[in-house]
């Protein structure tokens, strides 16, 4: 029943509630009475007693699901001003050294025996367990797994856990059911929070290196962006032949000359976390495109760059450590488009040319995706 309340609070379109909520409840009731079937070939649910021996050779490389628990750094309380920091930042600092968490939902076959080399664009979408409606909208719109212009587009949602105890269990159950039905969720056993987004990013890079290193390009983004994935494929395919996925590529909405926010809001980064007042250039985390080469470099760098709570700035730090630079693309507007006054903000013509734009409700996503594909659309 708590799903119901959650959705009501979020005021999603009533018809969505009417359609989605009963289905969910039925699914949950059903699964609580029926044990899950054995994992299919495409989706593997990992539990401690269900490990490796009969995993196919292509995926048996490393165990991503068995990490010893990582403990709070107790000496952190002694750093100057620690007790005056908001609890979430105290937690960040105390767990900053933890870069491994067990994988609870894996997709060992996502990239098949080719390690992903047949995947042209892998969509990597940050999504919290409770964002079920957003995932559904994306599965049916821009993140649909398909071939465009001869190039395969595949999708994974990356997630931690939400809530505690019973709520956490139920949310994990939701993710499990979704994974069984769609085969598109990677979930690690760490607590979802804004300040843990960097951790999620790093855990994904580790998974990628192990399970899918040959996928050519990645879109890394939030679950509330509108990404014109057809345009992205065409952009990556280039005018005169495809860009080289074994070369550096990191494009998005470029942020330069910024630094840590020192006011105590959501983005607050105290000097205890970073003393320097500047960040290297980075791309806004709403969405950016990168090549497999750059993803690999970022993972290598992340081993020695201390985690930073702002995930997109952290990517910039890892790039800088490797001597690489992010770049901008005019079609990426994670802050939302700046439209001239008196223009309908949902006019599909504004989206024909873009690669991605931030902040959409699931129902808007459906309409927009349909409209940009309307052959009669005249701009
Ligand atoms: C913090 O500092 C105090 C005084 O120096 C010391 O007694 C205590 O053991 C320290 N605590 C930790 C967890 O390091
Ligand atoms: C724990 O925190 C102390 C104080 O900030 C630091 O010197 C030490 O390196 C940290 N330990 C780990 C494992 O990160
Ligand atoms: C990040 O996740 C870990 C593991 O669940 C948790 O202990 C820690 O408090 C979280 N950090 C923040 C800042 O929420
Ligand atoms: C593509 O190739 C043509 C002909 O060689 C050249 O004139 C053009 O500048 C190239 N375009 C790009 C974007 O490289």
The model's pLDDT over 312-337, given as tens digits with 9 standing for 90+, comes to: 999 999 999 999 999 988 777 655 55
Ligand nearest to the CA of 272: 2
Among 72, 74, 75, 78, say which to mutate for ligand 1: greatest number of ligand atoms within 8 Å of CB.
Answer: 78
Over 60: is that where the pLDDT of 48 sits? Answer: no
Ligand 4 pocket, residue 166 CB under 6 Å: no
Ligand 3 pocket, residue 161 CB under 6 Å: no
Ligand 2 pocket, residue 165 CB under 6 Å: no
Q: How many CA atoms lie within 13 A of 219 on its CB side?
A: 33
DSSP states of 121-190? EEEEEE--TT-HHHHHHHHHTTT--EEETTEEEEEEEEEEE-SSHHHHHHHHHHHHHHHHHH--EEEEEE
Ligand nearest to the CA of 235: 4
Ligand 3 pocket, residue 122 CB under 6 Å: no
Higher pLDDT among residues 215 and 346, named by residue: 215
Over 60: is that where the pLDDT of 6 sits? Answer: no
Domain extent listing, the chain: 1-35, 36-47+96-372
Burial class (CB in 10 A: 0-12, 13-18, 19+), 104: buried
Ligand 1 pocket, residue 74 CB under 6 Å: yes
Over 80: is that where the pLDDT of 39 sits? Answer: no
- CA of 374 relative to ligand 1 center, distance in Å: 66
Alpha-carbon distances, residue 116 vs 166, 216, 260, 293 (angstroms): 36, 8, 36, 14
Q: How many CA atoms lie within 13 A of 325 on its CB side?
A: 5
Ligand nearest to the CA of 238: 4
The pLDDT confidence band at residue 241, using thresholds 50, 70 and 90, is confident
Alpha-carbon distances, residue 138 vs 17, 79, 132, 207, 353 (angstroms): 17, 44, 10, 22, 19
Whole-structure pTM value: 0.82
- CA of 81 relative to ligand 1 center, distance in Å: 14
Which amino acid residue places its CA nearest to atom 13 of ligand 4?
239
Work out which ligand 4 atom sits closest to the CA atom of 239: 13
Over 50: is that where the pLDDT of 31 sits? Answer: no
- What CATH code is assigned to 36-47+96-372? 3.90.550.50
Tens-place pLDDT, residues 119-164: 999 999 999 999 999 999 999 999 999 999 999 999 999 999 999 9
The predicted structure's pLDDT at residue 15: 52
Ligand 4 pocket, residue 379 CB under 6 Å: no
Over 70: is that where the pLDDT of 99 sits? Answer: yes
| Cα–Cα nearest to 365, from 221, 199, 184 | 221
Ligand 1 pocket, residue 75 CB under 6 Å: yes
Higher pLDDT among residues 276 and 16, named by residue: 276
The predicted structure's pLDDT at residue 326: 96
Mean pLDDT, range 18-22, rounded to an integer: 51
- CA of 377 relative to ligand 2 center, distance in Å: 58
Which amino acid residue places its CA nearest to atom 14 of ligand 3?
193
Tens-place pLDDT, residues 100-124: 999 999 999 999 899 999 999 999 9
Ligand 3 pocket, residue 371 CB under 6 Å: no
The pLDDT confidence band at residue 378, using thresholds 50, 70 and 90, is confident
Among 235, 238, 240, say which to mutate for ligand 4: greatest number of ligand atoms within 8 Å of CB.
Answer: 240
Which amino acid residue places its CA nearest to atom 13 of ligand 1?
75
Over 50: is that where the pLDDT of 90 sits? Answer: yes
């Amino acid at each position: 029943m708590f799903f119901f309340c959650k959705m009501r609070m979020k005021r999603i379109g009533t018809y969505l509630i009417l359609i989605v909520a009963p289905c969910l409840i039925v699914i949950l009731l059903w699964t609580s009475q029926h044990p899950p079937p054995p994992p299919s070939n495409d989706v593997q649910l990992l539990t401690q007693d269900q490990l490796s021996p009969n995993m196919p050779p292509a995926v048996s490389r490393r165990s991503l699901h068995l990490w010893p628990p990582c403990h709070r750094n107790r000496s952190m309380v002694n750093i100057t001003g620690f007790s005056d920091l908001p609890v979430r930042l105290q937690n960040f600092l105390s767990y900053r050294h933890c870069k491994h968490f067990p994988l609870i939902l894996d997709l060992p076959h996502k990239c098949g025996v080719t390690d992903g080399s047949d995947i042209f664009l892998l969509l990597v979408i940050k999504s919290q367990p409770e964002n079920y409606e957003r995932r559904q909208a994306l599965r049916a719109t821009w993140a649909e797994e398909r071939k465009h212009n001869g190039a395969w587009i595949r999708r994974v949602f990356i997630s931690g856990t939400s809530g505690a105890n019973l709520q956490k269990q139920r949310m994990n159950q939701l993710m499990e059911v979704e994974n069984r039905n769609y085969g598109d969720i990677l979930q690690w056993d760490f607590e979802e929070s804004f300040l843990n987004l960097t951790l999620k990013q790093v855990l994904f890079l580790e998974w990628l290196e192990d399970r899918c290193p040959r996928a050519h390009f990645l879109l890394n983004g939030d679950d509330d962006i509108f990404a014109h994935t057809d345009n992205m494929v065409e952009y990556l395919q280039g005018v005169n032949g495809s860009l080289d996925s074994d070369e550096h590529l990191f494009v998005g909405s470029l942020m330069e000359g910024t630094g840590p926010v020192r006011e105590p809001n959501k983005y607050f980064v105290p000097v205890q976390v970073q003393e320097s007042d500047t960040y290297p250039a980075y791309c806004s985390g709403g969405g950016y495109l990168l090549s497999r080469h750059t993803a690999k470099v970022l993972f290598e760098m992340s081993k020695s760059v201390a985690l930073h709570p702002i995930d997109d700035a952290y990517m910039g730090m890892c790039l800088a450590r490797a001597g690489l630079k992010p770049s901008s693309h005019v079609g990426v507007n994670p802050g939302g488009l700046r439209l001239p006054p008196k223009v309908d903000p949902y006019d599909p013509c504004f989206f024909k040319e873009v690669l991605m734009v931030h902040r959409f409700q699931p129902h808007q996503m459906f309409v927009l995706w349909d409209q940009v594909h309307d052959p009669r659309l005249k701009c």
